[in-house]
Structure 1
Amino acid sequence: MVLFATSPSPKATAIALAALLLAGCAVGPDYVRPQMDVPVAYKESGPWKTATPQLIDASHPWWEAYGDTTLSALVVQANAANQNIRIAEAQYREAQAIAAAAHAGFFPTVGLDAGANRAQTNSTGVTKRATTDTLGLAASWEPDLWGAVRRSVEAGNANTEASADDLAGARLSIQTTLAQDYLQIRVIDLQRDLYASTTAAYAKALELTQHQYAAGTVLRSDVALAESQLKTAEAQAVDLEAQRSQLEHAVAVLTGQAPASFSLAPLASSTQTTPASLSSTAALRVQLPVTPAGLPSELLERRPDIAGAERRVQAANANIGVAKAAYYPQIVLSASGGFSAGNLASLFNTPSRVWSLGAALAQTVFDGGLRRAHTDQAVAAYDASVAQYKQTVLGGFQQVEDNLATLRVLDRESALQAQAVQASQLAERLALSQYRAGTATYLSVVTAQQLSLTNQRTAAQVLGRQLAASVSLIAATGGGWTATDATSGN
């Protein structure tokens, strides 16, 4: 209610001074980042230092390191339209509102009331009717003597920061998933080119056997083998269409579109498929980012999940203080002031003024163990959040190690597979020449052709695994790469 300037009473002054003296108290443990043993360096490569959350910038255009304008456009579209990102963004705003609600506990509650009351009384046989008009303000405030509000605000702020990390993590997850799906589509396009040239070669081989069979120089079984070889390759090419369609549908959903309204044009067919093109990103018109200096010791610090897990530890720690504050008495200060009169004309006259000041102290004496249970619950939640944080960090170690090892192994495998493709293509040409000369059976041609096709498709698949592992490594390190410091030509 409305408060009027009057000299405070000694009792009110004492209460106010006590509130100010105790305002700095906050029960519960102060937050300290959980300690854990970490390796000095990665097993695979690079120095290591303890991960500490830093500002996450999941909108950093790391995808530009691949040098594909179509991929960049799709990621930008996903950032704007993906529904999972919108969910995370809404949850972040919800966390902000919850933190703001906790912060409101620092301030008093003020209310306005106005009313008119008419009553009849009967005293000593005399009936009286009177009207009372009132207008005033009322305020109440609970000083944060034990830090319950401060701990709630601390928890709310930490949860807000964790939600911001979740939003960054959602963006990064959508971006990396989109990049992997898109790059696998391009690898399938490369394999489609391979099957197009392969089936064309098999068709010529079938035509050769048909002519030789008509001339009576080969058996009918040679024609059957050639036809079987061609149809098998055509069937495998059709299977690629199903894989591509599913990936294209996934890309559509990731960019916030219905699959029916989205299509991704294939890459222009190469004039010739060579062992080098099957083992290199050049045929896909993309670049394979390399691990920049300092990875992973610096970049792992920008992982959204690690940052979010640590901030949830901070929130759980603050909640212990909130639970422990319930053991202490509550003090509520209240004040009211306004006007009360028998008619509106005299409502604002000096005799109609009314006011009150008050203080109330409340202490729970027995609650059947409720406060202890709440405190134990808060401590258990804190312990769980610490374990979750440590597990997240260890999982981060594993993911980076896995992808570093995968890229290292695939680099060697790609080089060996390129040699295998080259050797099998030579064997195919020799077998076909020998068959034309009549010094080899068509079975040897089929065997050489099957080996050549298998090696070429394996080379393309290894390239796809390299691209997928490179995107996974970016995700494992927080997605903070740029095209200038993380790209090298192949």
Structure 2
Amino acid sequence: MSAALLLGACVDVHVADYKRPDTPAKTSWSDKTGTLVSPAATIEPDWWKTFQDPYLNTLIDKAIGGNFDIKVLAARIDVAHAEIAEANAGALPSADLGAGANFQKVTSQPFSKQYNLAGQVNWDIDIWGKVEKGVQAQTAEFHATEADWRAGYLELVSNVATTYFQILQFDDQIVAQQKMVDENKQILAIYDGLSRNGLIPQTQVIRQQAEINRLTKDLMDLRRSRKVANNALCTLIGVPAGEFEVPAGHLQQRVQLPPVPAGLPAQLLSRRPDIVAAEFRVLEAYKLVGEAKLAQLPTISLTGHGGTASFALSDLLKSFTFGLMPSIDIPLLDPSVRAHVKTTEAQSGVAEQQYRQTVMGAFEEVETALVNLDAHRQQRVELLQEVQRLRLVADQIEAQLHEGVVSQLEVFETERTLLQAQLDVLANHQEILADTVLLYKALGGGWPAVDVEAQTQAKQ
């Protein structure tokens, strides 16, 4: 035992206390409008209900219950939980029981037979806590898989919402595109009459026919895109593509633009599931380094065995033999053990860099979402003013038509310009909705903050 203690003193088994990897500091976002609000009051867990669309709520409920990506992530949580028990089993005794018979015939000797029954109990005593380090590492991985599930949940809800918004936008665009086709056909009829009377060249008629061909092609493409988006939504909610269809609707009527609080605190990133998962995997790497270092120390085992043997099966249980054998295994020279320590230390460095990479990516996602949201809101003001003014022009042109001042062609041209501006407002509406979804997703989507270090200290 003294030799074991001497060896332990010569081996580096120190593992630094866990500390969250340092990252560049960020106290606030570039959007500093408004009073700073608390993280708890910023994003509700069911934030998608702020869009005030009951049908969207129903789609998200279906997706949460039926999406197979989420089910895979949930199954991985079960696997990680089971692996905790598997890791913990390394500190428990193991027992074996065996029975056998030996029949033998030697020339000039009588036939012999022997029966035996034996059992053995082996216990590798975890005096250094190596197994406990492995259990802690697997527990951290279990929490990381839980965070993976939350990240997948957030990704799913975001994808359902944005896909649904796209489908409704396609519906409005299809209606508008069909109207443009119809109006251009009316313009073609006017051009055709003018050409027959020799007032315009035939090339203008042909050019208008080509314009109708282009608009019709675009209409077909919108209908195709609508079906493709609907197929994607089917997969998201867990039904075969083509087995479900979103009823036609109008985006701006169904989905309201939700208010997003100003003065968002940077601490909201502690809610992001992918950051939480990355930090838990740093903790896991720390624990694996500790397990690898402790593997350099001697191991102590207790082996107990007992059994019986008899030439007659009826006498098998009449006598027993027992034994107890303690042993110590001192790893004097095992290059693989030292190499494994180096490997785990290097993997710990990778986990730390991946955590920093995740945090930096989160900073970019939030800032980009805020920039896009602010720009699209400002553009909306201009677009609404443009539509309002073009509508006034359209009303005046319509009045002038009745007075015989302008031609029907000018009316159609004015209506076409107004319709395009209305489509721009529609696209802007969808962009703001998508920006809002991406912002909620980037900020963690209402999940509670997780303090990995506090959880670690609580378990120690």
TM-score after normalising by structure 1: 0.78
* Equivalent of 2:270 in 297, 301, 306: 301
Partners of 2:262 and 2:377 in 1: how far apart? 18
Map Cα deviations across residues 406-442 of structure 1 (whole Å, 9 max, x no partner). Answer: 1111111011111122233444555566678776688
* Equivalent of 1:40 in 4, 22, 27: 27
Tell me what 1:362 maps to. 329
Tell me what 1:117 maps to. 102
> Does structure 1 conserve the Cα–Cα contact (< 8 Å) formed by 2:271 and 2:447?
no
* Equivalent of 1:186 in 154, 168, 173: 168
> Does structure 1 conserve the Cα–Cα contact (< 8 Å) formed by 2:27 and 2:266?
no
Letter in 2 for 1:147: G
Tell me what 2:46 maps to. 61
Tell me what 2:317 maps to. 348
Tell me what 1:372 maps to. 338
**More helix by proportion, 1 or 2?**
2
C-alpha distance 457-481 of structure 1, shift in aligned 2 (>3 A): farther
C-alpha distance 36-187 of structure 1, shift in aligned 2 (>3 A): same
Letter in 2 for 1:289: P
Tell me what 2:453 maps to. none
Partner SS for 1:261: coil
Shift of 1:467: 1.0
* Equivalent of 1:317 in 286, 294, 300: 286
**Runs of 5+ in structure 1 lacking a partner?**
1-13, 269-280, 483-490
* Equivalent of 1:31 in 10, 14, 18: 18
C-alpha distance 416-136 of structure 1, shift in aligned 2 (>3 A): same
Partners of 1:186 and 1:414 in 2: how far apart? 19
C-alpha distance 47-382 of structure 1, shift in aligned 2 (>3 A): farther
Which region of structure 1 is more displaced relative to structure 2, 82-91 or 409-418?
82-91
Q: What is the 5 A alignment of 1:441-460? A: 448-460=414-426
> Does structure 2 conserve the Cα–Cα contact (< 8 Å) formed by 1:27 and 1:146?
no
Partners of 2:327 and 2:261 in 1: how far apart? 64
Shift of 1:386: 0.8
**Alignment of 1:70 onto 2:55:** yes
Identity %: 28
Tell me what 1:8 maps to. none
Shift of 1:233: 4.0
Tell me what 2:442 maps to. 476
Shift of 1:121: 8.3
Partners of 2:402 and 2:263 in 1: how far apart? 58
Map Cα deviations across residues 423-482 of structure 1 (whole Å, 9 max, x no partner). Answer: 334445555666787766888667645533332222111111111111111211222289
Partners of 1:345 and 1:209 in 2: how far apart? 114
* Equivalent of 2:79 in 94, 103, 116: 94
Q: What is the 5 A alignment of 1:89-238? A: 89-118=74-103, 131-206=113-188, 219=200, 232-238=214-220
C-alpha distance 407-339 of structure 1, shift in aligned 2 (>3 A): same
Partner SS for 2:31: coil
**Alignment of 1:291 onto 2:272:** no
**Alignment of 1:417 onto 2:417:** no
Letter in 1 for 2:314: A
Tell me what 2:431 maps to. 465
Letter in 2 for 1:399: E
Which region of structure 1 is more displaced relative to structure 2, 330-339 or 191-200?
191-200
C-alpha distance 47-158 of structure 1, shift in aligned 2 (>3 A): farther
Which region of structure 1 is more displaced relative to structure 2, 441-450 or 376-385?
441-450
> Does structure 2 conserve the Cα–Cα contact (< 8 Å) formed by 1:296 and 1:400?
no
Which region of structure 1 is more displaced relative to structure 2, 303-312 or 355-364?
355-364
> Does structure 1 conserve the Cα–Cα contact (< 8 Å) formed by 2:376 and 2:432?
yes
Letter in 1 for 2:157: Q
Partner SS for 2:98: strand
Shift of 1:244: 0.8
Map Cα deviations across residues 355-408 of structure 1 (whole Å, 9 max, x no partner). Answer: 1111122223223x4233211111111111111111111211221111122111
Map Cα deviations across residues 46-71 of structure 1 (whole Å, 9 max, x no partner). Answer: 7599x9xx9xx99x533322222222
Tell me what 2:458 maps to. none
Partners of 1:316 and 1:481 in 2: how far apart? 25
RMSD: 3.7
Partners of 1:360 and 1:240 in 2: how far apart? 76
Letter in 1 for 2:344: A
C-alpha distance 228-249 of structure 1, shift in aligned 2 (>3 A): same
Shift of 1:340: 3.3
Letter in 1 for 2:365: Q
C-alpha distance 47-149 of structure 1, shift in aligned 2 (>3 A): farther
Tell me what 1:334 maps to. 303
**Alignment of 1:252 onto 2:234:** yes
Partner SS for 2:275: helix
**Alignment of 1:83 onto 2:29:** no
C-alpha distance 242-203 of structure 1, shift in aligned 2 (>3 A): same
Shift of 1:145: 2.2
Partners of 1:381 and 1:442 in 2: how far apart? 74
> Does structure 2 conserve the Cα–Cα contact (< 8 Å) formed by 1:26 and 1:151?
no
Alignment coverage as a number of residue pairs: 436
C-alpha distance 306-249 of structure 1, shift in aligned 2 (>3 A): same
Shift of 1:226: 6.0
Partners of 1:311 and 1:81 in 2: how far apart? 28
Letter in 2 for 1:100: A
C-alpha distance 472-76 of structure 1, shift in aligned 2 (>3 A): same
Shift of 1:342: 3.7
> Does structure 2 conserve the Cα–Cα contact (< 8 Å) formed by 1:65 and 1:481?
no
Partners of 1:374 and 1:176 in 2: how far apart? 41
Partners of 2:447 and 2:185 in 1: how far apart? 47
C-alpha distance 334-48 of structure 1, shift in aligned 2 (>3 A): farther
C-alpha distance 226-127 of structure 1, shift in aligned 2 (>3 A): closer
**Alignment of 1:384 onto 2:374:** no
Tell me what 1:485 maps to. none
Partners of 1:220 and 1:265 in 2: how far apart? 45
Partners of 1:417 and 1:104 in 2: how far apart? 66
Which region of structure 1 is more displaced relative to structure 2, 62-71 or 175-184?
62-71
